[in-house]
Amino acid sequence: MSRVSTRSDDLISQTALTVVGRLAKGEITPLDCLDALEARVAQVEAPVNALPTRDFGRARKLAQAMMARPPAERGPLCGLPVAIKDLTEVAGMRTTFGSPIFADHVPAQSDPLVERLEGEGGIVYAKTNTPEFGAGANTFNEVFGPTRNPWDTRLSASGSSGGSAVALATGTAWLAHGSDLGGSLRNPASFCGIVGMRPSPGRVATQPAAPMDRLLSVQGPMARNVADCAFFLDLLSGEDIRDPVSLPKPASGFLAALGTGWRPKRVAFSADLGITPVDAEVAAICRAAAARFADAGAIVEEAHPDFSEAHESFNTLRAKGFAISKKALLDTHRDKLKPEVIWNIEKGLALTMDQITRAETQRLAMYQRTLKFFGDYDLLLAPGTIVPPFPVEQRYVERCNGVEFDNYVHWLAIAYAITLVACPSVCIPCGFTASGLPVGLQVVARPRADATALAGAHLLEGLLGLPFGVPIEPKVRH
């Protein structure tokens, strides 16, 4: 087919699976996809700032090399362009980590995650914006500035995978990579009306960093719907010797799990997991969405594991991780680090062994209670985040329902409680606020039951039938 005859707007509106199917049939080429994306970027990128680094020249060279191979040798992605978060290195592409320290950094080698995607037939064309080192759930940095929410450009896209979420919502990506420590895949999914999944630790192999055995931070897929997200996880997952905690690829695929007809028998919903205030409108929207599982024959009850130690445990373990991974930068580039990062590193350096021991013991107890909980329930449902999108100039949420938070990550407890117990969580759109802003719901399954979380999310997505209609044109407001 002639590239001239391919309608960019038609391609942009299609799902990733549809576009891959058309690539596999030869109806379109990877170059058509890149042309469509470049045209869409020109139309919608300026007001939202989701993809600050783009290299369509590099991508077209890869596409042309791929097209020289027989279709059967192009991998399951068949040349579909994929966007990568700017915390993950791509050989030959500027990778800043959102930090002035690395503003001109161009790596010579890609992260194993990128190598895997390219081996599966993906073509990287852009890096998505992120806060400095992914710290904080509002996507802004001193290198590229803020990423704005396409539903209202006065508002935050959340973070730290905010650029990826906005690219999906505005149609400058079909699939986008993200990462998650305290909700960085789930918060922006909730704010932007797309799907973000925190997989089980080790499900997606990545470049190891100190500490090597970290289980709090994971890499994961983002997409416009659950089926595309499951397909993306199939391609991202797999064992890699360079990542000592990576898991083997499961015998049955995640996309295949959506077609098994599985339905939960008993589902738990909690608006607050017993540990956080929640905006009343967000809680009501999520509660109503969770209740729809009854239409599929499930018993829906209000319940949650005991997460009472979550704040203390997470703050200690997060700080420890920052101290181990960022102390050298504090010593050499303190003047270029944002205050929240400095605070987290210094908090970690001040920890005692007693505090670390206590945090690890608390986490183990919560994990064991969560395993017991999932002996009674198939799924746990909770808001993706506790508030609707807030003004982009606000660095983080300082209070909710009269509760004042004591640090810049405290408002993320609804997400980081799930992080602590190593559960997979899929955040899906579940409704709109009265002012027209999207709200997301986490669908959580027991540890390593990623297929169950995706199947549950897919079932609820169908039950809700929301007319989200992403991609959207950014709603530019001043």
Q: Which of 99, 110, 160, 425 is catalytic?
A: 160
* 192 touches 100 (CB < 8 A): no
Task: List, in order, residues 6 or more apart from 352 with CB less than 8 Å away.
Answer: none
Distance CA 183, CA 181 (A): 6
Distance CA 158, CA 169 (A): 13
Distance CA 421, CA 365 (A): 9
Q: Which of 99, 110, 164, 184 is catalytic?
A: 184
The yes-or-no answer on residue 184 being catalytic is: yes
Instruction: Look at strands 425-432 and 438-444 and give their pairing.
Output: antiparallel
Q: Could you tell me the two tokens for 464?
A: 């809700």
Q: Which of 85, 127, 320, 326 is catalytic?
A: 85
Distance CA 435, CA 431 (A): 11
The yes-or-no answer on residue 160 being catalytic is: yes
Q: Which residue, 217, 214, 187, is CA-closest to 199?
A: 217
* 15 touches 224 (CB < 8 A): yes
Q: Which residue, 180, 195, 33, is CA-closest to 121?
A: 33
The yes-or-no answer on residue 99 being catalytic is: no
Position 143: which residue type?
V
Exposed/middle/buried for residue 307 (C-beta within 10 Å: 0-12, 13-18, 19+)? buried
104-122: buried (b, 16+ CB within 10 Å) or exposed (e) per residue? eeebeebbbbbbbbbebbb
Q: How far is CA 409 from CA 15, 321, 422, 456, in A?
A: 33, 14, 19, 28
Position 126: which residue type?
A
Name the DSSP letter for residue 298.
-
Position 203: which residue type?
R
User: Hey, which residues are catalytic here?
Assistant: 85, 160, 184
